[in-house]
């Protein structure tokens, strides 16, 4: 009996389906060269803005030893540029992670391809994940570019605990993906209107500590920020990358991220399945 027979038919099919989605979207993205140039220019512009802001803060003495700013940054290594660099890179990824699935499905709705995809035998989760796969991969490349360019501008990550940071990153991505799947379920039913992405992205940038420590917020806003995965993701990543913290040092943040995923992912999966069932029963799959 051959290895292919013992594996059984369709075992590798989800992987092939996801790869096909990535190829499709990569071909589409690379066919518009100016869009790629615009995205890279936007990335560099954002990073330079953060860099010059950090020079203003440092040059103005805002991080002098004993100042409030210095005290709030010391647990993250004390350097504002590195602090803001991690926040901006992860904030960029969050925006893509939250909108990737809903945006991909919305495009399929408007192009009329969603009905055809749902008519195939492909597992339903591969349609949602595949619709965002290329954007997720490209966003990870953007994060890497933030780090590389940031290092060229003077960022140093000496003593970083990369193993612990990787675990924190994986848990963060799972939590963000759960919210993204919930947004995808919403866009299937509401079509053009999808409030979850805008709500979570806006609140995350405001309360999650992207450009300033949560301790800079009023207590009641800081408490609200604790309900966002980004707050805990940034806490874990900054401490492991910038301050060399171990898993034992950041375990409270990791537990919260795991809890977010454990609670939100089943809810999002149920909502996505229910949304597909509803639009098929209503006959509104092709409506947009």
- Residue-wise pLDDT for 263-274, tens only, equals 999 999 999 999
Q: How far apart are CA 7 and CA 168, in angstroms?
A: 33
Report whether pLDDT(70) > 80.
no
| Helix, strand, coil share of the chain (percent; to 5) | 80, 0, 20
pLDDT top residue among 163 and 69? 163
Residue 6 has pLDDT above 60, yes or no: no
Whether pLDDT at 261 is above 90: yes
- Quick: pLDDT tens for 147-196: 999 999 988 888 889 999 999 999 999 999 999 999 999 988 887 777 88
For the CA atoms of 16, 19, 24, 26, the dihedral, rounded to the nearest 10 degrees, stands at -170
Task: Say yes or no to pLDDT of 282 above 90.
Answer: no
Q: What pLDDT shows up at residue 62?
A: 46
So what's the pLDDT on residue 92? 87
Dihedral sign (CA 105, 107, 110, 111):
negative
Task: Kindly report, residue by residue over 205-253, the tens digit of the pLDDT.
Answer: 899 999 988 888 899 999 999 999 999 999 999 999 999 999 999 999 9
> What one-character DSSP code corresponds to residue 243?
S
Using DSSP's 3-state secondary structure scheme, residue 53 falls into helix
pLDDT more than 90, % of the chain: 41
Domain ranges of the chain: 13-282
pTM over 0.75: yes
């Amino acid at each position: 009996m051959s290895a292919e027979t013992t594996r059984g038919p369709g075992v590798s099919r989800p992987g092939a389906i996801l790869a096909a989605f990535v190829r499709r979207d990569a071909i589409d993205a690379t066919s518009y060269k100016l869009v790629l140039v615009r995205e890279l220019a936007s990335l560099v512009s954002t990073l330079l803005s953060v860099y010059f802001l950090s020079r203003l803060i440092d040059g103005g003495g805002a991080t002098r030893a004993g100042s409030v700013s210095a005290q709030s940054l010391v647990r993250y290594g004390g350097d504002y540029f590195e602090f803001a660099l991690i926040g901006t890179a992860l904030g960029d990824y969050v925006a893509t992670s939250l909108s990737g699935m809903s945006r991909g499905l919305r495009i399929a709705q408007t192009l009329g391809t969603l009905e055809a995809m749902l008519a195939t035998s492909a597992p339903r989760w591969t349609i949602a994940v595949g619709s965002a796969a290329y954007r997720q991969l490209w966003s990870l490349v953007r994060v890497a570019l933030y780090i590389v360019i940031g290092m060229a501008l003077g960022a140093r990550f000496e003593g970083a605990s990369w193993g612990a940071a990787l675990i924190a990153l994986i848990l963060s991505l799972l939590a963000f993906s759960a919210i993204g799947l919930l947004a995808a379920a919403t866009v299937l039913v509401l079509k053009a209107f999808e409030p979850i992405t805008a709500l979570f992205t806006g609140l995350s940038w405001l309360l999650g500590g992207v450009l300033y420590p949560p301790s800079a917020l009023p207590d009641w806003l800081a408490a609200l920020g604790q309900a966002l995965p980004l707050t805990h993701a940034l806490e874990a990543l900054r401490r492991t990358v910038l301050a060399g913290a171990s898993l034992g040092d950041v375990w409270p943040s990791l537990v919260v991220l795991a809890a977010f995923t454990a609670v939100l992912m089943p809810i999002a999966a149920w909502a996505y399945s229910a949304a597909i069932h509803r639009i098929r029963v209503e006959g509104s799959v092709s409506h947009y």
